[in-house]
Structure 1
Amino acid sequence: MTNYRIAYLMCTAVVVGTGLGAAPPAGHHDVHVVWPGQSIQKAVDAAESGDTVLLAPGTFHESVKVTTPGLTLRGMGRSTVLEPGTKKSAEKASESCSEGGNGICVVGTKDRDLQGVTIASLTVTGFARTGVFAMATDGLTVRDVTAVKNGVWGIAQERSVRGVIRDNTAKDNGDAGVFLANTIKEEAGASDTHGTVVDSNRLEGNRIGVTVRRLRNLTVMRNHLTGNCAGVFVVGDENKPKTGALAVRDNFVAQNNKSCPKTDRLDALQGSGIVVTGAEDTAVTGNVVKDNAGKSPLSGGIVLFKSFVGVTSDRNRITGNVLKGNAPADLVNTDPGKDNTFQGNSCRASKPAGLC
């Protein structure tokens, strides 16, 4: 079969698979097919808003920077692999991404968020910092991505809104499988994500499965978290507005008993299911949390913990969860904050007693 015929079939699959075959699009959008040995960055730079850059199966040794709104960068599944390249091989446009130790960078500007980018159906592995990193984006979708053995984060998003992180696998990354924050470069109050969703991901063997740091209006739901040091971390601090107005619901959080040493920012971790610290108005509901056990101050099934900088958690609702086999307890509350409620949970042991 000729390369032209293969490319034609691949392009046809993208059109049908994205639903575009049902009716012609209003404008003309191109599909740019890239084969191993060719430059992804050149194809991305040549693409226009609404185009798809389709990566064939095989291994690509490069980092890629996306700055075009409405672009789709898509592989053909796990067999499309991005690994670090050499500095010599880096295209000029992607140098900042590769030098930062990242695989794929989706980046807006200080004054304008990059809108409507999709990253899908590929593997990013072995990067010193992050597999897929996003900054200043609006409506970014990351789906069916496998982010494995990256130095810090599997998939990370900062200073972004309306993101969808769905149906991904993040495994054996140095810090969080999925990391979401307002910014890590300065002290600032929690920002409103306007409904970002982390949905139906598999998060295994990381330091933390999902970290939500200094954000508001975000949902973490239907994820499978196991084998991490901690499953879900909702983190606030002394800045205002406070982290909050979040939902952590319908997740399966089991056996997150990997042991991780203390860092400058966080105590040693082991056996933490869901931790809420320094947050307000957060609903933790409908989760199955079992067999998370450790001896860290943060260990337990669902843990409400006073912030390390002394900020309390207030008006959080821990309701309708199923917990068993967690240690030191299924429900742990060491936070003196106001109006936190524990109701309708199925559990056997709590610290202090009486929360079940």
Structure 2
Amino acid sequence: MKKCHIAYLACAAALMGAGIGAAPPAAVPRVHVVLPGQSIQKAVDAAVAGDTVQLLSGTYHESVEISTSGVTLRGLGSRTVIRPAAEKAAGTCAQSGNGICVTGTADRSVENVTVASLTVTGFTRSGLFATETDRLNVRKVTATENGVWGIAQEHSVRGEFRRNTVRNNGDAGLFLANAVAREDGASDSQGAVVAHNRMEGNRIGVTVRRLRNLVVAGNQITGNCAGVFVVGDENTPKAGALTVAGNLVVANNKSCPKTARLEALQGSGIVVTGAEETLVTRNLVRDNAGTSSLSGGIVLFKSFVGSANERNRISGNVLDGNSPADLVNTDPAATTNIFEHNNCRASQPEGLC
């Protein structure tokens, strides 16, 4: 009996050694190296989940669309630059005027894509545009001199935008929205994070439009027409239930003309309009000055479609040198907003400091 048992084990070991019944080996992540003059898109199309497309130093003239989950597109910092092609190429991303697109569908989000350490500049719409994504990670990307947005995202959840530089873009440097083209109620971003970015020379440093449940924290925001916009409207659920904390918002005094959606802007630090349950705390807001109805340090503004701010808390901020005032509430009839423990000199109406 003992010999039979030993023989059985030996046979089983032989079969396993031959690979019968064994689990297939795990795929080994690959690095696809791309040099200037080669196609980034070709490398992205060849990548599978876990792979990295590594761009070397130089300038690449193309638009790139990522629709595979788990792929990383990475450059070598400021030495890697993506610009538009001389002639607009085929493909939705290029035809829409975007540099990098991360694109899922309503039925299947693109998950866990990373874009890092590169510059994207000169596109007519956005440097980077993402839609239908989950856990998109954008870090150390410089998006500069793009026609509309530097980095933008819609229909997405759990995105992280960290240590990026967005400079001199036509609208917002960073733009996060429930939907770009529809007037829906606010959606839950499920904890999106906009942290430790540098925003300079844009129309608006960062716009959060019709979203809930996210954090804008630790950013340096200066030289824009407006620093931070939290935007809601009459749709339900309302925008809000988010945090704007620990940002440096200084001298956003660039002058921008009015648009079809918004009046002329200058000297707006942090603006909350048509939102609820937003916490604005521990920000340093200084020297934002202008004559727009949206000008001032921290401004609660009744939205242009008449939606009031409700149950927002403005707490523990340091404000100085903002004009027409450090704290501004243009809808004092909305009595559920709380101003507390702010270090400031002047408010409209009086008594908010």
TM-score (norm 2): 0.92
Q: Partner of 1:156 in structure 2? A: 152
Post-superposition shift, 1:252?
0.1
Structure 2 segments unaligned to the other structure (5+ residues): 1-24
- Where 1:85 maps in the other structure, the secondary structure is coil
Find runs of 4+ consecutive structure 1 residues off by over 4 angstroms. Answer: none
Q: Does 1:235 align with 2:231?
A: yes
Alignment map for 1:57-96 (pairs within 5 Å): 57-87=57-87, 90=89, 95-96=91-92
Alignment map for 1:235-274 (pairs within 5 Å): 235-274=231-270
Counterpart residue type for residue 347 of structure 1 = C
- Where 2:142 maps in the other structure, the secondary structure is strand
- C-alpha separation in 2, matches of 1:297 and 1:345: 22
- C-alpha separation in 2, matches of 1:26 and 1:240: 46
Post-superposition shift, 1:110?
1.6
- Where 2:179 maps in the other structure, the secondary structure is coil
- C-alpha separation in 2, matches of 1:26 and 1:333: 58
- Where 2:92 maps in the other structure, the secondary structure is helix
Q: Partner of 2:334 in structure 1? A: 337
- C-alpha separation in 1, matches of 2:343 and 2:313: 15
- Where 1:78 maps in the other structure, the secondary structure is helix
- C-alpha separation in 2, matches of 1:273 and 1:224: 12
Alignment map for 1:1-356 (pairs within 5 Å): 27-87=27-87, 90=89, 95-335=91-331, 336-356=333-353
Q: How high is the sequence identity, in percent, across the aligned residues?
A: 68
Post-superposition shift, 1:112?
1.3
Q: In 2, are the aligned partners of 1:232 and 1:274 still within 8 Å (CA)? A: yes
- C-alpha separation in 2, matches of 1:172 and 1:236: 25
Deviations 1:237-260 (A, max 9, x none): 111000010100000000000000
Q: In 2, are the aligned partners of 1:313 and 1:338 still within 8 Å (CA)? A: no
Q: In 2, are the aligned partners of 1:251 and 1:288 still within 8 Å (CA)? A: yes
Q: Partner of 1:15 in structure 2? A: none
Instruction: Report the count of equivalent residues.
Output: 328
Larger Rg: 2
- Over the aligned positions, Cα root-mean-square deviation in angstroms equals 1.0
Counterpart residue type for residue 49 of structure 1 = A
TM-score (norm 1): 0.91
- C-alpha separation in 1, matches of 2:205 and 2:146: 14
Deviations 1:20-65 (A, max 9, x none): xxxxx96410000000000000000001111000000000000000
Q: Partner of 2:16 in structure 1? A: none
- C-alpha separation in 2, matches of 1:276 and 1:108: 30
Structure 1 segments unaligned to the other structure (5+ residues): 1-24
Deviations 1:320-344 (A, max 9, x none): 0000000000000012323100000
- Where 2:240 maps in the other structure, the secondary structure is strand
Counterpart residue type for residue 47 of structure 2 = A
- C-alpha separation in 2, matches of 1:116 and 1:218: 18
